[in-house]
A and B are shown apart, each in its own frame.
Chain A
Amino acid sequence: MKLRRYYPLIPIYLLYLTLFLIGFHVRGLWQPMALLAFYAALGQAFNIFLGMTGYVDFGYVAFLGLGSYGMALAVSSLYRVEWLGGGIIVIGLLLGLAMAALLSTAVGGIALRLRGAYFAIATIGVNEGFKYLVTGARLWGGSEGIIISGDLREAFGVEVANSLATFWADTLLFIIAALAALVTLHYMQSKIGYALTALREDEEAARVMGVNTTKYKIIAFITSAAFAGLIGASGWALKMTYVFPEDVFEITYTVEAIVIVLLGGAGTLLGPLVGGIIYGVLKYWLAVLAPGLQLLILAPIILLIIVALPQGIIGVLKERVRGTALERVIV
């Protein structure tokens, strides 16, 4: 087993470890680090689709939302089953993943036969549509959502329930982000990655070269959605211990995900992590300096970076290290 192919993961895992350790050991920094982990994970997951195919999914947050519901539904239905123990959380994660993957299969199967811009337009309705489905049809509690704080306390006792929401949910985000990076690298080095590069650069030429573009777009889409499901399940439902449709189907997160991927460098491995960290830091810092105005001030800052650095930070860095030893590691 050639270990060299995993070198690109070194800076990534080191960064994640550093963030985790800072949050763990420095008083008061756990929440900020958790925020960075959330944005890094979000970026890493979204990059698998946006970065690798070049397609924009404006309904992406729906997968996070479904992931949250997966966790909430699992906990609220199973909390009385004693022998499951911590398995409830695992089931919650898997259910969140499955629900997101299912929606993405349905949406992707139809919408990904469309090219570029048409696909983007088609996805705008997905998130809003789902939100109104849940509230209108009173699905899963309708607009009142699902609250699982009580269920968690009953199933695990107050102390464990607390640590689940305030520590384990966030730690899971680090793990999910690390996993997303691994999967991204695996795709990049396999036929899937080459197919995605080809269709991203020139979809028609790729089809003539023998690439079944629809198939590979769907693979990237489902993978990206599955990770979003995991992030929603842990970073939202488990952490907040409640799920409201108005919160989890909020389009702002889709926009943030797009910005993070582009800022860091779409299609790169390190990019989303760097983008997530920078965006998270800026957002948190601005929230302290000028609360309520974060998004307003943030947008022009990021627009500036995107106009000046279209390849993203890592995209530019990759050009600089081409031909040097760092090339193997900045991917």
Chain B
Amino acid sequence: MALLKLEGVTKRFGGLTAVDRVSLEIESGEALGIVGPNGSGKTTLYNIISGVYRPEEGRVLFEGRDITGLPPYRRTQLGIGRTFQIPRPFSSATVRENVAIGAMFGTLGGKIGVGEALELADHYLELVGLQALKDKASGSLTPVEKKLMELARALAMKPKLLLLDEAMAGMPPKDIDRLVGLLKRVKEEEGIAIISMVEHIMRAVAGFAERVIVLHQGKKFLEAPTAEALSDPRVVEIYLGRPAEVGDASG
């Protein structure tokens, strides 16, 4: 049974079809990449999975259960965690408190108290390297620090499925590599399935996702193992703007 299954999901905004009959599956512990430029429907797809939008057609199934009608907070409690492309910290709270909120209302919900949530927050802050800033007001962080905090907060939710939205955009390559290594570790240690969404096929996805789905104008354009997708000339042309060369994946 797939962890997450989308069946022919369609979302329309007036005359615009943002997501057009998209189906996909992801298993527990898998790493999937979703690629596509702005306007291809990526964010809308995420919003459908996390429950912010309700699709006009199709179903969303999580662990075999139809969650199409469930509100976002219920899905989080079931195990769907998410980061935002533009980080959304709870600005007046400290970094530590932000991450603790993730722990308090995620899958551990009723089982942990405030003190334990704060301890769990410390653990994940150390993992992403932000422990020095834990008592700072989250609104005063740099954009990259905010992205790291978003990640820590999502991990603290102890999700079964983690949706990363451009989680590494704007980061220097060294940080991306470190983060990819971190995600790989977390994936293995905690058995989380991770979907990473990026605008272009980058080092972030290439070294990390086993398989890639390419979105174009709301439709699923291609689904293939990462290496294949990288060398597919149609994809490369659309997203890199020129024919591929050897070494593009690590460049």
A residues contacting B by CB (< 8 A) are: 189-191, 194-195, 197-198, 201-202, 204-213, 267
Residues from chain B with a CB closer than 8 A to the CB of A201 are: 89-93
| Residues B102 and A209 in contact, CB atoms below 8 Å apart | yes
Chain B residue nearest in CB terms to A211: B105
Determine how close the nearest CB of chain A comes to the CB of B21; give it in whole angstroms.
25
**Cβ-based interface call for B9 (8 A):** no
Determine how close the nearest CB of chain B comes to the CB of A241; give it in whole angstroms.
44
B residues contacting A by CB (< 8 A) are: 50-52, 71-73, 76-77, 82, 84, 88-93, 97, 100-102, 104-106, 109, 113-114, 153, 157
**Which of A190, A198, A208 has the largest count of B CB atoms less than 10 A from its CB?**
A208
Residues from chain A with a CB closer than 8 A to the CB of B72 are: 207-208
| Residues A191 and B92 in contact, CB atoms below 8 Å apart | no
Determine how close the nearest CB of chain B comes to the CB of A186; give it in whole angstroms.
11
| Residues B106 and A208 in contact, CB atoms below 8 Å apart | no
The one of B71, B92, B157 that contacts A209, using a Cβ cutoff of 8 Å: B157
| Residues A210 and B100 in contact, CB atoms below 8 Å apart | no
CA distance A207 to B106 in the complex (A): 11
Closest CB pairs A-B (n = 5): A210-B105, A210-B76, A205-B88, A201-B90, A207-B72
| Residues B114 and A189 in contact, CB atoms below 8 Å apart | yes
Known: A197-B92, A201-B93, A202-B90. A209 touches B101 (CB 8 A): yes
Chain A residue nearest in CB terms to B138: A201
| Residues B104 and A191 in contact, CB atoms below 8 Å apart | yes
Determine how close the nearest CB of chain B comes to the CB of A247; give it in whole angstroms.
38
| Residues B114 and A190 in contact, CB atoms below 8 Å apart | yes
Determine how close the nearest CB of chain B comes to the CB of A63; give it in whole angstroms.
27
| Residues B91 and A211 in contact, CB atoms below 8 Å apart | no
CA distance A195 to B88 in the complex (A): 15
CA distance A189 to B100 in the complex (A): 13
Determine how close the nearest CB of chain B comes to the CB of A183; give it in whole angstroms.
16
Beyond known contacts A208-B73, A212-B73: 12 more, CB 8 A cutoff: A195-B101, A197-B92, A198-B90, A198-B105, A205-B84, A205-B90, A207-B71, A207-B72, A209-B101, A209-B102, A209-B153, A211-B73
A-B CB contact pairs (8 Å), 15 listed = A189-B114, A194-B97, A194-B101, A194-B114, A197-B90, A201-B91, A202-B90, A205-B84, A205-B88, A208-B50, A208-B76, A210-B73, A210-B105, A210-B106, A211-B101
Residues from chain A with a CB closer than 8 A to the CB of B105 are: 195, 198, 209-211
Residues from chain A with a CB closer than 8 A to the CB of B104 are: 191, 194-195
Residues from chain B with a CB closer than 8 A to the CB of A208 are: 50-52, 72-73, 76, 82
CA distance A194 to B51 in the complex (A): 22
